[in-house]
Structure 1
Amino acid sequence: MSLISALPAPGHYRITGTGHWQSAFAVTELATASVAAVGVELAKLIAALNLAPAPPEVTVDQRLASLWFSYSFRPEGWEMPGLWDAIAGDYETADGWIRLHTNLPHHRRAALQVLGCAEDRPAVAAAVRGWRAEDLETAVVSAGGVAAAMRSRAAWLAHPQGRAVAAEPLIRWGARREIHLRNRPRATRERPLAGLRVLDLTRVIAGPVSTRTLAGFGAEVLRIDPPGWDEPGVITDVSLGKRMATLDLRSSTGRQQFQALLAQADVLVHGYRPGALDGLGFGAETRRRVAPDLIEVALDAYGWTGPWAQRRGFDSLVQMSAGIADAGRSWAGADRPVPLPVQALDHATGYLMAAAVVSALHTAQGGAPVATARLSLARTAEELAALPQSAGGGVIEGAEDADFAAALEASGWGPGRRLLPPLRLGQTAMRWDLPAARCDSAAPRWQ
């Protein structure tokens, strides 16, 4: 069996449900196809494990897949914190627009240090207007922050990083090696990933979506965060089905504990920039020595080649860099950036990461060598830009009562309702054994 390298063709899955996100881009089409990619690869795994006489039919609910690209959890009787820091957002510069991403304290400090202004939005707006967009972008990034000037599609495709990303495959597989999968007697047709140990070193949305998806089919997901980490406004959505632990990988004790976890893991999913794990003592050679049969999937923002391969980034920033927000501005007839209606680059990349894990599993099960898979938000942006719009039905305005499961989920913050799953494979349905949990709510050990 070959490793996944592209979105599946519509003929490989059945679509139910109607509705679409209104956008200059094929957001709903990307949602449906990326969710379907997980199903298509799972169907192959179910057949490879002899859990069913034939690969089951893959069905994606177009409306639900679209809604899962937004937010999957609705609290009952309480409110979740806001998603964005008060300073984060789009600002007009002397020659265009820039987006500052300041949700993390050190990123906010970097931006304010460069701007030399008070920590309030009017002061930031006034300071930003004195800068050229690309000059401010460069200054903030050099100070350890994250920012993105708004570029047109043409400017991005002519940019050295845009050219590098366009030349990369959607899923970049490294050198292949033979691995030996651990026996998983608990795996069934209904829970094909039962017994699979997934070590999750990802943050915010894309990586956590991938491991949330794997948990939905039975995988044991253990997420490791640094001490004190939190993602207000996001974690309730993406911690579903996982155990959330912390380790200080800069301490010898933390590194020893992590090495023990890694040695027992089947899968490692991480969102560290190229070389970052090396700095913590867990470079590629060490990972292979500690866990020679490990399946690995990695994520970065701006691609794995080119001058920005080391650059930090987030979905909203990549939309600005890659011309998506500018194309949205033209499409809407607006005088400011118009992003996608949801953070589609994050979510689509997350589902593709999950599909890559499952693809590696069924490939290894068939005796063929596998490799580390690398994906990026910027390369997913190119995939989105190339997709034609074809989804039918009315415009999706948001989730309605009928889109949610009837049963309450007892999350770590309070009760709420979760969207119905968007994917089914015959008798195999997505479900989660654990509710969403707070960071640092579990011990760093396998069950």
Structure 2
Amino acid sequence: MQPLLDTISQALTLNPATLRWQGVGSLPSTYAVSELAAASIGAAGLALARLLEQQTDNYCPLVRVDRRLASFWFATCLRPRGWQPPGLWDAIAGDYACGDGWIRLHTNAPHHRAAVERVLGSCANRNEVASKVASWSADQLESALVAAGGCAARMRSWLDWCAHPQGQAVNAQPLILRETFASDTPLKWRGTTQRPLAGIKVLDLTRILAGPIATRLLAGFGAQVLRIDPPGWEEPAVVAEVTLGKRCARLDLRDRADRLVFERLLGDADILVHGYRADALERLGLGHERRRQLNPGLIDVSLNAYGWSGPWKERRGFDSLVQMSTGIAREGMRWQQANQPVPLPVQALDHATGYLMAAEAIRALGDRLQTAAGSRARLSLARTAKLLVEHGTVGDDLPLAAQTVDDLDRHLEQTPWGLAQRLKGPLAVGDAVLRWDIGACELGSAAPHW
């Protein structure tokens, strides 16, 4: 636990001395997934503790992380009662054997599935896909699918990834790429020791899954989070999970009137969190310089899949694909002595990167409150993968099972889809505990204003 926390704390320039752990057990993995869960959530707590120390007199809050609950939050924090969200995966998404190795197809979005069918032809079911994939080499199919606008990743080993040009590029980057900018727009702290982020406006341009996790944590400590999605976008499998504590509106940033609304929102925001590919906002006329022009003191935190330099910096990607690319699924296969890829038991790269984004946003907020400086921070799933892999594999530990969640760890929440139980938050910072003022909501259910 401590080596991972120390590495993360150094990247965030935080002191881990005030953090205390509780809870036991590990998710089943050859990698230290539960340790990553506790350490990344703990980092957000340490950033919050530092902010409180800066803004209050003689107050040094203790940070408490429940390792058991942190592990469960890396899977799901919601337990529906009498209803179930749609399945997470499209019918043909998954791993397939090529002629010379394995490849994973990510087809949850309709346009990503359409890209697969442009390359392979119509695919009614997994058997059809498997038959067609078998005649391809993994490299050739990966390249063809990406060129068609799809999402795919062949299985590589960690050594293969380290030798790959993109692996070399992202592995040379720090865990958090950070810049600061002078600003003459000071910000006043309006929080309390119970709700440290009260009064902070967070504009959320993120989708599945890391970015929404970041903004969910910010909302849990009092921030006002407004999520913006384009017309027609839905993510039914996870919307109840990730919209907790937020208001969700829709804007089409390609429409001039909607873009003007967005620019006004951005001008009033304290924090912007976004997960677009490296060139996407630039193509919309909302690149870094424009964002800085609209809001010089902005705290701008973003992520992508494969890093911010190298030939794949603009490649579409998701947690499951990055696990294939970086050798994680290959090591899981070796660990289980399996005949197919074995991913992590949860989407740990998404979750950890999300909590690191939240930690960085809070850390940068503390700096802005003191100096008025704006900042820009960039993270990636692939760089988080390096963090996990380089801390090595682990031995057997006391396993965690879903049955170990006690009723005392949950509370009832009424959602638009029905009643659910929400797990107790895994983090407390002094008197501040994770508490959401509003429950989960449907995308597009609110107006686009603060």
Q: TM-score, normalised by structure 2?
A: 0.95
Pairs within 5 Å for 1:237-386: 237-367=241-371, 369-386=373-390
The Cα shift of 1:371 comes to: 2.4
Structure 2 residue aligned with 1:28 = 34
The Cα shift of 1:337 comes to: 0.1
Question: Is the contact between residue 187 and residue 368 of structure 2 (CA under 8 Å) also seen in structure 1?
Answer: no
Deviations 1:77-104 (A, max 9, x none): 1111110000100001101100000000
CA distance in 1, matches of 2:407, 2:40: 20
Structure 1 residue aligned with 2:182 = 177
The Cα shift of 1:174 comes to: 2.5
CA distance in 2, matches of 1:88, 1:390: 29
Pick aligned residue for 2:130 from 125, 129, 154: 125
Pairs within 5 Å for 1:57-76: 57-76=62-81
Does residue 174 of structure 2 align to residue 209 of structure 1?
A: no
Question: Is the contact between residue 303 and residue 378 of structure 1 (CA under 8 Å) also seen in structure 2?
Answer: yes
Question: Is the contact between residue 330 and residue 342 of structure 2 (CA under 8 Å) also seen in structure 1?
Answer: yes
Greater Cα offset, 139-148 or 288-297: 288-297
The Cα shift of 1:404 comes to: 5.9
SS at match of 1:74: strand
For structure 2, the 5+ residue unaligned runs are: 1-8
SS at match of 1:408: strand
SS at match of 1:148: strand
Cα distance change, pair 318–7 in 1 and its aligned pair in 2 (3 A): farther
CA distance in 2, matches of 1:134, 1:257: 43
The Cα shift of 1:406 comes to: 4.5
Cα distance change, pair 333–390 in 1 and its aligned pair in 2 (3 A): closer
SS at match of 1:173: strand
SS at match of 1:349: helix
Cα distance change, pair 111–368 in 1 and its aligned pair in 2 (3 A): same
The Cα shift of 1:198 comes to: 0.2
SS at match of 2:167: helix
* Identical columns (%): 53
Question: Is the contact between residue 37 and residue 70 of structure 2 (CA under 8 Å) also seen in structure 1?
Answer: yes
CA distance in 2, matches of 1:438, 1:403: 26
The Cα shift of 1:272 comes to: 1.1
Structure 1 residue aligned with 2:6 = none
For structure 1, the 5+ residue unaligned runs are: none
SS at match of 1:80: coil
CA distance in 1, matches of 2:10, 2:44: 10
Question: Is the contact between residue 251 and residue 448 of structure 2 (CA under 8 Å) also seen in structure 1?
Answer: yes
Cα distance change, pair 198–92 in 1 and its aligned pair in 2 (3 A): same
Deviations 1:284-318 (A, max 9, x none): 22111211111100100000011100101000000
Structure 2 residue aligned with 1:47 = 53
Letter in 2 for 1:133: A
Deviations 1:130-152 (A, max 9, x none): 10011100000000000000001
Question: Is the contact between residue 18 and residue 393 of structure 1 (CA under 8 Å) also seen in structure 2?
Answer: no
How many residues align? The count is 442
